[in-house]
Amino acid sequence: MPLLVMKFGGTSVATLDRIARASKRVAREVANGYDVIVVVSAMSGKTNELVGWVEETSPLYDAREYDAVVASGEIVTAGLMALRLQEMDIPARSWQGWQVPVKTTSAHSAARIEDIGTDAINQKFGEGFKVAVVAGFQGISPEGRVTTLGRGGSDTTAVAFAAAFGAERCDIYTDVDGVYTTDPRIEDKARKLDKIAFEEMLELASLGAKVLQTRSVELAMRYKVKLRVLSSFEEYDPNAGTLVCDEEEIVEQNAVSGVAYSRDEAKMTLISVADRPGIASAIFTPLSEAGVNVDMIVQNISEEGRTDMTFSCPTNQVKRAEDALAKAKDAGAINFRELVADTDVAKVSVVGIGMRSHAGIAAKMFSVLARDSINIKVITTSEIKISVLIDRKYMELAVQSLHDAFELDKV
């Protein structure tokens, strides 16, 4: 029997009515001849409520107990959906992470999946069960404790199950009807893509697009799991949504497929550091140890043995970065005259696998920004991406202008 994985996000299961609506979609796929593994998130807002209870009870909480509490949101949803399917005369049961089992690392609240057992669920399918409703976002550590995978972990759970069970496809149901060329809230001419390559989706997810969680796209790309992103709130259409797939499955590859942005960026510059071998390691090792997610890095031309080093990081990690570098300076590991933080910047990126075969994308991007008098502070590139840091007040203008310049509203 062919197998399908269907994942429903928090807004898709926010109420009993929405769980019933999602269950009807599952029933349709069962009627189409599939065995179905359904992966569910907690009901919308429930995880935040549970986290709040933990923090109110114990500000310096035990991470193992945190996971035990927070994982309960998905357990409730899984049980309710299994009950709804049973009411529809569909043989279904719920599964918690430890029952599958979903084996993970011991990094509580940020665990990684190491193995998914398939025997127990396959046995139930063999006995005539049609649907396994799995609580997403959770697993079990080598020590036998409940673990959680971090925010967006249910997407990762769904893709991992699709890979482990050899599913025909993994459908991600959310509150948007697919992947767009940019955020429709900023650019009303944004167009829904029928298909997008794994690499493009991974870049867009890492650059600020909120449609899919980055780790889930990484898994899908590694194990060649076809992903379909579609809305829980649209009427049924077998061709709905956006398919995330191999580059080879996309016939026409535009030079640019999308424009992404991130508001919460900061630019940090170390002024007058020694220009010597090992200085980059001396700067970025303490930042890594402090958990600072460094993105763009630029080293300026050196003068008389000194140079400036600029990098970007999330705005909520600026204080952490400042403390880490101050400690490194006090310890004598590095020496700099000043650390300047600019928290009023944004990152704007153009992404497209077609960049590999199209020249002039960077020149066109930079000329568009220059035309709108938008100054570029930092530039980084990869084979399929160009990112710039600009003043945050120009972010929406930059997104709209680049979307128009690359004609992303046209098929």
Binding-site annotation, residues for ATP: 7-10, 174-175, 180, 185, 210-211
The rounded distance, in Å, linking the Cα atoms of 405 and 401 is 6
CA distances 280 to 77, 216, 311, 315, 324, Å, are 47, 31, 11, 21, 14
> Which single residue is written with the structure tokens 């359904």?
38
> Which single residue is written with the structure tokens 């300026």?
300
- Is residue 149 within 8 A of residue 111, CB to CB? The reply is yes
The rounded distance, in Å, linking the Cα atoms of 383 and 393 is 28
Which CB contacts under 8 angstroms, 24+ apart, belong to 284-288? 284/311, 286/324, 286/325, 286/327, 286/328, 286/333, 287/311, 287/313, 287/321, 287/324, 287/325
How many other β-carbons are positioned within 10 Å of the β-carbon of residue 253?
A: 16
**Phi, psi angles (nearest 5°) of residue 314:** -60, 145
How many other β-carbons are positioned within 10 Å of the β-carbon of residue 378?
A: 20
Could you say which DSSP state residue 33 is in? T
- Is residue 321 within 8 A of residue 289, CB to CB? The reply is no
> Which is it for the CA torsion 391, 395, 397, 398, positive or negative?
positive
CA-nearest of 123, 130, 128 to 36 is 130
Task: Quote the longest CA-to-CA distance of the chain.
Answer: 79
- Give me the amino acid identity at 300: N
- Give me the amino acid identity at 268: M
- Give me the amino acid identity at 193: L
β-pair partners for 243: 195, 228
- Which residues carry a binding-site annotation for substrate? 47, 74
- Which residues carry a binding-site annotation? 7-10, 47, 74, 174-175, 180, 185, 210-211
Residues in the chain: 411
> Which is it for the CA torsion 17, 18, 20, 21, positive or negative?
positive
